[in-house]
Amino acid sequence: MTPAWRPGDRRADVASMLRVDQAGEYGATRIYAGQLAVLGDRHKSSALIAGMAAQEKEHLSHFDALLAARGVRPTILQPFWAVAGHALGAATALIGPAAAMACTAAIEDEIDAHYSEQLAELGDGDAPLSASIERFQADERAHRDAAIEAGAESAFGYPLLYAAIRAGCRAAIELSKRI
């Protein structure tokens, strides 16, 4: 845990936090849309994915509203994440349902860590934002657990797939913080 903010410390850059969170939730909606585009609505994983997708849409609208209310511009990478997220979702679903779940497990582990970092950085500096992040983090953890439950770890090459997607997610986070 990072200690609370003290005079002389750098204040949490809330605009950058909101930008990356909105980008991440947007990316999540695109990943699930890509998976559902491949699996359709009749696959046995479809209902689970659609349920997670609905929660991501709710997370996204919350951050959309926060960006607007606080005058924060979205990342200029939004059009890129639209394509990359959809492609990642579609590609993992094409490999198979277990790979689609492996994708969710990797992404959600990274987002869980990312939200923990933000909560530590915020301290008690922005209670409403921290409350939202805590609520969404609980959802992301539930998505990860559901993905593991649904067989993520049985995906072919799981350790490699997991590590590659998690690293990609980390890179996307770092980019969206900055631009």
Taking alpha carbons only, the member of 115, 109, 108 closest to residue 134 is 115
Q: Is 123 left (phi over 0), alpha (psi -120 to 50) or beta?
A: left
Task: Please list, in sequence order, all residues whose beta carbon lies within 8 angstroms of the beta carbon of residue 141, skipping any fewer than 6 positions away.
Answer: 108, 112
Crossing angle, helix 127-149 and helix 14-39, to 10 degrees?
Answer: 30
Sketch the per residue contact string, 78 through 107, with Fe ion: x for CB under 5 A, - otherwise: ------------------------------
* Residue range at the interface with Fe ion (CB under 5 A); choices 5-13, 15-23, 83-91, 141-149: 141-149
Q: Does 30 bind Fe ion (CB under 5 A)?
A: no
Instruction: State the nearest-atom distance from the C-beta of 173 to Fe ion, in Å.
Output: 13
The 3-state DSSP class for residue 50 equals helix
User: Which 3-state string (H, E, C) describes 88-101?
Assistant: HHHHHHHHCHHHHH
Q: Does 114 bind Fe ion (CB under 5 A)?
A: no
Q: Does 56 bind Fe ion (CB under 5 A)?
A: yes
Instruction: State the nearest-atom distance from the C-beta of 134 to Fe ion, in Å.
Output: 13
Q: Does 109 bind Fe ion (CB under 5 A)?
A: no
Q: Which is nearer to Fe ion, 21 or 97 (CB)?
A: 21
Q: What is the DSSP letter of 72?
A: P
Q: Does 59 bind Fe ion (CB under 5 A)?
A: yes
Determine which residue in the list 31, 143, 166, 169 makes contact with Fe ion, applying CB under 5 A: 143
Residue with tokens 């509203």: 65
Q: Which is nearer to Fe ion, 5 or 116 (CB)?
A: 116
Instruction: State the nearest-atom distance from the C-beta of 28 to Fe ion, in Å.
Output: 5
Q: Does 140 bind Fe ion (CB under 5 A)?
A: yes
Q: What distance in Å separates the CA atoms of residue 110 and residue 82, rounded to the nearest whole number? A: 19
Give me the residues that bind Fe ion (CB under 5 A), please. 25, 28, 56, 59, 140, 143
